[in-house]
Structures are given as structure tokens and as C-alpha cells.
Structure 1
Amino acid sequence: MDEYVKKKVECFRPQVFALIERMTLAAGAIATSDPLEADIMDTAFSIRSTGTVDAAIEEFDGEQWQVADSMEVLEGDTVWHHTLKNAQFRLRLENKSERDAVVSINVNLPCAVEVED
């Protein structure tokens, strides 16, 4: 008779945290987050803004920061998914409008964990 053998398997667990909380981005201003490091190359951002801002994901390729993806974030809530090519990245925001915008950003950086099967 076969016995049930417990084994450990790797799975992914969401890891959500606040990257920016209620930051006022003045008209014409640019803000860049501190660099982040990802174990798993899938990321997701939940962005809440009171105005239109441009957002860009910049990845560090070992020599310099390069824009990997960008989008216009409209007033309200936006969810943005991005698959990284490099583990180290940061988020840059630019307010090209004539009025200030208050921005909050949560990021999901999944992490690998071992669980018993």
C-alpha cells in the first residue's frame, strides 16, 4: 500500500505594501521611488490619484536606469501589471498638468515560499 509522503513545494505568495502614501505631486514636478528588488519578475501596482500623472517603470540593467514601461494614470484608481526583465526597478511619476495631484501607490511583489504538499 502506498504511503502518503509529505513533500515541500514552492508556491508564490502576494506581498503587498504601500510604496507611496498620499504624496502631493506639484504641477510640473517629478518624483522617483527608492529602488526595489524583486525575486519574482511579476509586479502589480494599484495607483490612486486626484489628477492625471505620467508613470514609468525604470529597470536597472547593471549599468544604467532604463524606462521599461510607461502609462498615463488618470484621476481615480488604476491597476497596472508589469513583467520585469531586471530584478532592480523603481517607479517615476511626473505631473505634467497645471494642478497638484495627490498620489498613493500600493505594489505587489510576489515572493516564493515553501509549503507542505
Structure 2
Amino acid sequence: MLKKIYLLSLTCFVISGCTSNTPQSTQEKKYHFVDATAHQCTEDIKSKTTKLSAEGHSVSVRWTTVQYVISAPDGAFTANKMLGVEYGTSTILDNGVPGSAWKSCMQSKGALVPELKL
């Protein structure tokens, strides 16, 4: 009997722990949107660049991250949390302006925000 109570209690604890969601702040939601969009744009650039390279075009690419800064006021001070999002350049898609294809993609999806430190 004691074993059943223990097992039932443990099951309830696990279920309640796994189903509870911590609410996200507006800044966190915005970051997740920008991060997901940056991933989509980077994958799109990779795909297009790979296709053009396979067709014989000369390309040069660079994949990295850019900083995304979340500022949180804390009394007289402001705490900055630095996060990263994917970023890519492709000479064949950027037309002489490094990162322009990525920025254009981000802009078209409403994700080119001031928190990105380019």
C-alpha cells in the first residue's frame, strides 16, 4: 500500500513538473522570434549559395553569429544579456555588400531589430 502511495505521488510530481510552463517575457518571445527567423534566413542563403555553386558560380561564404542584446533595468543600473543568432554572408547573393542578403531576408520577415548588433 505504501508503495502505491509513493508511486502515485511520484507520478503526480513528474506530471506536474513536466507540464508547467514558465511564462516568457516579451523580450524573450521577441528574441526567440528573431532567432528562429535568423536560422530560416541563414538556411535559405546556404541553400541558394550551394545551388549557385553547383552551377559553377564562384562563391565565398562566411557563417557566424551576431549579438542580440537584451537590456533589463535594475534600479540605477542596466543589466545586459548577450545572446547570439545565426548570420551569414555570400558574395554571390550580397552583391558587394556583405550580409545584405541576410539583412534583406530578416527585414522582409520583420525581424531586423535594433537589438541585433551588426
The TM-score, its normalising length taken from structure 1, stands at 0.25
Higher relative contact order (CA 8 A, sep 6+): 1
Higher helix share goes to which structure?
A: 2
Higher strand share goes to which structure?
A: 1
Select the structure of larger CA radius of gyration: 2
The TM-score, its normalising length taken from structure 2, stands at 0.24
